[in-house]
Structure 1
């Protein structure tokens, strides 16, 4: 069902596009390359099991947990451009 000036399926296309953008962003943040043996922030040794489980890991668990906690939430943008979103 289309609403307003949009064609049928436009809303689903917007949802699919937003999900694809989020997946692409998440994939771009995955570590790549060879894992480090020591954390690049605190210098602690990174356990072998972590290096094998996460190829390309650069931080120990404690530093990665802290970085994840400080990460801001990405809200994206409103592709529909509704009046409500423009008034906020």
Structure 2
């Protein structure tokens, strides 16, 4: 018979799985842009390969995430 700690662990694992799934759904998909939609600079091929569907260079993405968090 599971005790409270086992049940808490099950809930924690479910919440973590849900959070990971939500993050994956929020990730861009499709073909990456070759040029950043904000500054027009070329997006390096390594970034386009690592982050399919990216639309911003790393500098603009960092700024976007920083200002969104505020």
| Alignment of 1:63 onto 2:60 | yes
Question: Which runs of no fewer than 5 residues in structure 2 stay unpaired?
Answer: none
Q: Which protein has the larger Cα radius of gyration, Structure 1 or Structure 2?
A: 1
Q: Distance in 2 between matches of 1:49 and 1:15?
A: 35
Question: Structure 1 pair 65/36, CA: closer, same or farther in 2 (3 Å)?
Answer: same
Match of 2:15 in 1: 18
What's the TM-score, normalizing by structure 1?
A: 0.62
Alignment of 1:44-63 (within 5 A): 44-63=41-60
Match of 1:32 in 2: 29
Whichever structure has more helix as a proportion of its residues is 2
Match of 2:39 in 1: 42
What's the TM-score, normalizing by structure 2?
A: 0.74
Q: How many residues matched?
A: 67
Higher relative contact order (CA 8 A, sep 6+): 2
Q: What CA RMSD, in Å, does the superposition of the two structures yield over aligned residues?
A: 1.9
Q: Residue 42 of structure 1: CA displacement?
A: 2.1
Question: Which runs of no fewer than 5 residues in structure 1 stay unpaired?
Answer: 3-7, 73-88
